[in-house]
Structure 1
């Protein structure tokens, strides 16, 4: 396509309009997104409902295309409206300008994460409806708030609501990640998040002394144990080319706090670690080791967790799951190279899996550098439009199961 074709393409116009809405943290305003989606629903002749599962500031928008057999479990196509902060001085294009350069690259926050996928769903459904398609299963297209902050104010409470249960969801699609190669990752599971705070008490006093049992000494011990564990996982990843980052446990020091003055030994220090536990990790054993190391460090250490959950069962990717079979048949038909992986971060898919709904993370963005949360985030116009065609086939297959 030429530059003029990109500028005039209907679906690219809708996509760029959505990208220009700055639903950006730390204070996203979702109302312009909701109004945009209301206009999309009207154009598509689909009913739309807006839910507020946590508070009036964090909506969940659901468009519905009713199936021929609405009693069957439905298909949920999920995406999130919020995007992470930007630093405009580090961008070569306005981060909410949705400008297209001469190569066809669309620059804007959300092009990859993940306003693209939400609009590709709608574009695919627009094409299918124009072609007169109808499917057995009802299709719900959801646009949620707060995903970038963990979904605590949107998807997490929504899946526990009677409104969500009324949707009768049997299978969900959600976001994946771009791929710089021809291969497209498909995510069937996520690691378990553990954010642990060690609140370390110790002997306080003058900085000129060698006091026993100080918080600093205990911190040194804890840090050593956590970094030793981290090193083992790094070596596993480096020594086995078959493993990806989602297959190992990551441990990262993210916060250190404490101290009152440069010549005073503090009575307490706090250190936080962000841990993402691989599926092969025994969670009870991991937690027991944290407490063991706290005792070995000298005691007087309280452990607090920002997140503390068990492993969520992965989505079955074999013949026992007819939705997976239908998805795989679609990607095979299209000649796509896909690779099953465990998602390295966290998405709203985990809330679906946690209530027993199989879900896959998939973003059709191959031959694309991974720029989510990065400066100059972009997606090529042709990649976007090809993704629309891919979703037409996938949606047709899974809604016909």
Structure 2
């Protein structure tokens, strides 16, 4: 009896251990994960800006609306000038020169101020040096571009270069968003400063490239060289175009979201080609060059690059958002380590949010065939990747080769550029916090978050000048208006343009307020500082 009881006890303990191994420990681990996730959601802290108490405590002024109509009309006038970039060395160059003259005519105070120097760089780009009253501090740079993308007038509801103001509400025209509102917004802010009889304390540059839409090789690159040539090799920060404010794009909040680009996706353009033998279409081979290449391209579309959500700077986007969303989304956003897979599956359903998840793959060109009744001797396709900051170009191409898995498909790298380094955005980074507060001073309900910019800008030409490169477009675009960006019926509201001017004004004023926090310039001779 005693022996039987011992055997029964041993069997019980074995079952107990098996239960703990199969159910108890995983259950306990699961409960612990749930507890940690809920704890992080409940006790999430809002990002404070205590280092910028100087800005928080100042008496803030803004540009009033007394000249809002005149400013809108000046932007509309600039939109009438078709400064289109088609391809490298194929631009409407006379229109660019016309735009130069338009800016000089419409901003007389800038062009007559003794402390502002205008230079024309490489014939078509513009560099303005605004000499501040305080010497010996690192200058900063405000960037934008003069050129616009091509347009098909037949698809627009209004003339794309008509510069029309409709219903006293919207300014229509190619470049209204990208990016003549940036050029004129910056200049309006500086003109207003001078109009009030003031002069900035800090020295800064206004750099307007003429070929951003076709890579910036002739424009921003030459602007950067001009700065280097005069001994300017360091900048406090660079601010260029980027994401606009959006609403209802990211779930969990009805506030405006202002995503400030702290990095920028890389890019890789690949040519895929297949060679075959030409022949008569009456007795075709089992597989043609077009068929082989089409199958390869289809595999790339069916098997997108892997999700990298939460492995790059976009994790900070959701961390900054977490204090401002409902509890359910706070649970997700503040626990990317646990829910990134679930979030990625939801985000990849929409092309725009999918771009935050991974390296994207776009088939942009496909060529094949020479005659209706001839089996084509070859076929070519062009693939454009926008490379996530957590992935290298080489890794993206290796993934392509693995998915295509066909030695008959040759891959040639046409152009590539790695993703930009991640700029600092913590509480101790004065330039980022200053941009953040400047946004909140104008767009008072905005939640400002760091983000990866999914397109490309001229900032790449200024990477060697500073680690503080930020990308932001100070206007509001609703989800239904996203297609207007490089699309049909591009427009900006008069009110939103006024806010853009105010944003640049606040940048100039706030940069002056923080002058004591700015590092010293490396140039010793004040007279030749710039």
TM class by smaller structure = 0.7 to 0.9
Q: Secondary structure of 2:419's match?
A: coil
Conservation of the 8 A alpha-carbon contact between 2:173 and 2:491: yes
Q: Cα 1:378–1:319, aligned 2, differ >3 Å: closer, same or farther?
A: same
Conservation of the 8 A alpha-carbon contact between 1:190 and 1:343: yes
The CA distance in 1 between the partners of 2:125 and 2:454, in whole Å, is 25
Q: Cα 1:221–1:86, aligned 2, differ >3 Å: closer, same or farther?
A: closer
Q: Cα 1:209–1:60, aligned 2, differ >3 Å: closer, same or farther?
A: same
Corresponding position: 1:176 with 2:242: yes
The CA distance in 2 between the partners of 1:16 and 1:219, in whole Å, is 46
Higher helix fraction (1 or 2): 2
Q: Which stretch of structure 1 is more off in the superposition, 133-142 or 376-385?
A: 133-142
Number of corresponding residues: 390
Pick the aligned partner of 2:82 from 7, 22, 32. Answer: 22
Pick the aligned partner of 1:38 from 93, 97, 104. Answer: 104
Pick the aligned partner of 2:120 from 50, 55, 69. Answer: 50
Pick the aligned partner of 2:190 from 125, 141, 148. Answer: 125
The CA distance in 2 between the partners of 1:17 and 1:164, in whole Å, is 34
Greater radius of gyration (CA) = 2
Q: Cα 1:165–1:144, aligned 2, differ >3 Å: closer, same or farther?
A: farther
Corresponding position: 1:309 with 2:374: no
Displacement of 1:243 in angstroms is 5.5
Q: Secondary structure of 1:345's match?
A: coil
Q: Cα 1:361–1:106, aligned 2, differ >3 Å: closer, same or farther?
A: same
Conservation of the 8 A alpha-carbon contact between 1:247 and 1:279: no
The CA distance in 2 between the partners of 1:281 and 1:338, in whole Å, is 26
Which residue in 2 is equivalent to 1:80? 145
The CA distance in 1 between the partners of 2:306 and 2:433, in whole Å, is 36
TM-score (norm 1): 0.86
Corresponding position: 1:150 with 2:260: no
Task: Deviation per CA, 1:131-160: give whole Å up to 9, x if none.
Answer: 444444311112211111121221134324
Displacement of 1:66 in angstroms is 0.8
Q: Secondary structure of 2:193's match?
A: helix
Conservation of the 8 A alpha-carbon contact between 2:83 and 2:147: yes
Task: Deviation per CA, 1:266-306: give whole Å up to 9, x if none.
Answer: 33211111111111224322223345566x4134x443223
Displacement of 1:195 in angstroms is 0.9
Conservation of the 8 A alpha-carbon contact between 1:203 and 1:213: no
- Alpha carbon RMSD of aligned pairs, Å? 3.0
Corresponding position: 1:9 with 2:69: yes
Q: Which runs of 5+ in 1 are unaligned?
A: none
Q: Which stretch of structure 1 is more off in the superposition, 239-248 or 250-259?
A: 239-248
Superposition pairs of residues 225-244 of structure 1, within 5 angstroms: 225-230=299-304, 237-240=344-347
Which residue in 2 is equivalent to 1:329? 437
Displacement of 1:209 in angstroms is 4.3
Conservation of the 8 A alpha-carbon contact between 1:191 and 1:344: yes
Conservation of the 8 A alpha-carbon contact between 2:109 and 2:194: no
Q: Secondary structure of 1:390's match?
A: helix
TM-score (norm 2): 0.66
Corresponding position: 1:359 with 2:359: no
Q: Cα 1:38–1:346, aligned 2, differ >3 Å: closer, same or farther?
A: same
